[in-house]
Chains A and B, each alone.
Chain A
């Protein structure tokens, strides 16, 4: 079974600065996908970024980028130029086959 671990229950960052959220996973699969989802207070799940395991290049989406280290099974999220609207719970997720497994989540606070 796959497991996803987010070791930081809470993180905070000053507005306009950069923050990195950590995620590690454990799997014996070679073909899989990794995601970061954002869940604001509204509880709506929002896809932030996606990474295919077969791609070596790290995914980027505007201010969001990942550091994907396949051998280390690490998938961290970097948020640059943090904005107040980035405050939310962030979940790392692993997909293989037909299952999407979530980490425990990291609550991000953005300080003005």
Chain B
């Protein structure tokens, strides 16, 4: 199967600091990775789509200068929450789509990371 790993799984930081979350596809290459945010007992909200080697596409209402996304390789995307504040506390989940033609890459089946819980004090 396809495995996506997120790190760290939990992070606590002080207000005003920056936090980086990594999303790695361990056994496949991912041209596209997605970052979601999930508040307690709510659905996953797409924040941005990152494509390897190009700038991320942000959803309406998501501040690109606040949430920096880098997709430097086919197996790694990072989300950096800059100058974090308590309202940024949330569960962040990444997902990755496999490279290549064929059924899997065309269906949109995404492989999800375990998520990262950010708490900003």
Contacts and interface: CB of A to CB of B under 8 A. Distances in A.
Contacts of B43: 91, 102-105
A100 B110 contact: yes
Contacts of A44: 112, 114-115
B114 A43 contact: yes
B34 interface: yes
A15 interface: no
B115 A95 contact: no
B28 to A, nearest CB: 15
Interface stretch (A18-26, A45-53, A67-75, A77-85): A45-53
B56 interface: no
Interface string B78-112: 00000000000001010100000000000111101
B49 to A, nearest CB: 7
Interface in B22-66: 32, 34, 38, 41-44, 46, 49
A36 interface: no
A104 B114 contact: no
Interface residues of B, number: 19
Interface string B4-32: 00000000000000000000000000001
Nearest to B115: A43
A64 to B, nearest CB: 16
Given A98-B49, A104-B42, A33 B112 contact: no
Nearest to B45: A102
A52 B95 contact: no
A91 B41 CA distance: 12
A42 interface: yes
A85 B107 CA distance: 27
A35 B109 contact: yes
A90 to B, nearest CB: 11
A95 B107 contact: yes
Interface of A: 33, 35, 42-45, 47, 50, 52, 91, 95-96, 98-105, 107
Given A33-B108, A45-B44, A91-B43, 15 more contacts: A35-B109, A43-B38, A43-B114, A43-B115, A52-B107, A95-B107, A95-B108, A98-B32, A98-B49, A100-B46, A100-B95, A100-B108, A102-B43, A105-B42, A105-B43
